[in-house]
Structure 1
């Protein structure tokens, strides 16, 4: 079992020290992701997940292909064959992305910890916690930074400590994107921080239960319903006062 609290602390500490070692490779990808901000924002609005988090996952899972699902890169207009299997087909890339964030592990739409450590650990969960179990930094996050040297799962369950991951890690992508868009801030609260968790109903629609704070107050003696006899009596007392 991986201690997620310890992993969040470790990832936050690594982030504070991280420096890009392949900056020229990150820059063009970051520009491409930031250029699609308006495409990611509607999905963010529907799920509460920051748009740049969605962009980074999209790049890692399918090189930002708009034909590939955010969940695993399979075509979103077909039933997925890779894990998570059996998702779709969907009407659009956006619908597939919402499903991936709301209904598929690691359930990013349920995340309430968008601190540096919380955000990076949620990203790491997309690739699995095998590296954390070994006490090694995950290349999914750290490839292309000075926090990662070598070590990679070359296939399911097979770890080679000498292989270097050539893909660009999530942290380097985020750092490069932050240089282009000042609105990207790890640790900043999202608009939906206090919203209840979202679920998907049987028709595939996202359902958000009413927040307790938004429920109308129950009429009482001190809070009579508008237009009621109680409200009329209350108005008489106000006039008398």
Structure 2
């Protein structure tokens, strides 16, 4: 499946949707019950989180989506831990012998998707990685439907889903609580918090210090395949990263005139 890059425009979309997300009133009790169960098992999520570097609540949201918070199932896809996975992705974990512990399976599922390489876990990056975990089918092939993996049980989702791998229905409805809705409720209950992103400043190419450019470098480091020193000097490497992420160099980069 084609890759969807983490861009500033996509980050802004995630932030807008999350901040305007409202749980469907008839689902309040169900969402709170899910959150209660997650909090009861927070220690287990934190144990795996400490190994792979992802936030514990990111792991918990995936666990709910893939196996309904069942600790006897693989995090990859909900198959039983008594054997390697059968459904996509099949044959996981590749190392070790079944039965697997949930922690072993969870670490394998996250490393398989290279989650440990994510350096910055902003709200927007969390939502991007959640959607990437499930796949880009909605965004690429059914863009009129926001992914229920994120938004089911909210004002951002009504109907439309994959009923099986590669099989689509406009009328089918997800019966699972979306991951973003879980995060929103965790935040409402004071269990997690996301800071508002700073206003995006205008930057220009310079080999010297430019006030505020550290924020640009930190943002760029959250994009897969980009690693910058956060030094406040938006020179050639920072401009290269901007080109990779957005398709253009920084203003005043000499290469803009080449």
TM-score (norm 2): 0.66
Match of 2:41 in 1: 36
Find the residue that maps to 2:17 and give its secondary structure.
helix
1:83 aligns with 2:88: yes
Match of 2:19 in 1: 16
Q: Distance in 2 between matches of 1:146 and 1:10?
A: 15
Structure 1 residue 184: Cα displacement: 1.4
1:47 aligns with 2:52: yes
Q: How many residues align?
A: 186
Q: Distance in 2 between matches of 1:72 and 1:14?
A: 26
Counterpart mapping for 1:94-173 below 5 A: 94-102=103-111, 104-105=112-113, 107-133=114-140, 134-135=142-143, 136-173=145-182
Structure 1 residue 24: Cα displacement: 2.0
Identify the structure with bigger relative contact order (alpha carbons < 8 Å, sequence gap 6+): 1
Counterpart mapping for 1:56-95 below 5 A: 56-88=61-93, 89=98, 91-95=100-104
Counterpart mapping for 1:206-221 below 5 A: none
Match of 1:185 in 2: 193
Structure 1 residue 7: Cα displacement: 3.4
Structure 1 residue 174: Cα displacement: 1.2
Determine which structure has more spread, i.e. the larger CA radius of gyration. 1
Q: Distance in 1 between matches of 2:105 and 2:175?
A: 28
Instruction: Determine if contact 1:62/1:72 at 8 Å carries over to the other structure.
Output: yes
User: How well do the aligned residues superpose, as a CA RMSD in angstroms?
Assistant: 2.1
Q: Choose from 154, 176, 182 the match for 2:185.
A: 176
Instruction: Determine if contact 1:7/1:132 at 8 Å carries over to the other structure.
Output: no
Q: Distance in 1 between matches of 2:20 and 2:77?
A: 30
Deviations 1:47-87 (A, max 9, x none): 11111111111111111111111111122241211122111
TM-score (norm 1): 0.71
Find the residue that maps to 2:162 and give its secondary structure.
strand
Q: Choose from 26, 29, 37 the match for 2:31.
A: 26
Find the residue that maps to 1:27 and give its secondary structure.
helix
Deviations 1:6-59 (A, max 9, x none): 433322211111111122220111101011111111111111111111111111
Instruction: Name stretches of at least 5 consecutive residues in structure 1 with no aligned partner.
Output: 194-241
Instruction: Determine if contact 1:43/1:98 at 8 Å carries over to the other structure.
Output: yes
CA gap of 1:39–1:127, structure 2 versus 1, over 3 A, is: same
Deviations 1:127-181 (A, max 9, x none): 211111132310010001111122111222222222221211111111222234x
Instruction: Determine if contact 2:77/2:88 at 8 Å carries over to the other structure.
Output: yes
CA gap of 1:68–1:187, structure 2 versus 1, over 3 A, is: farther
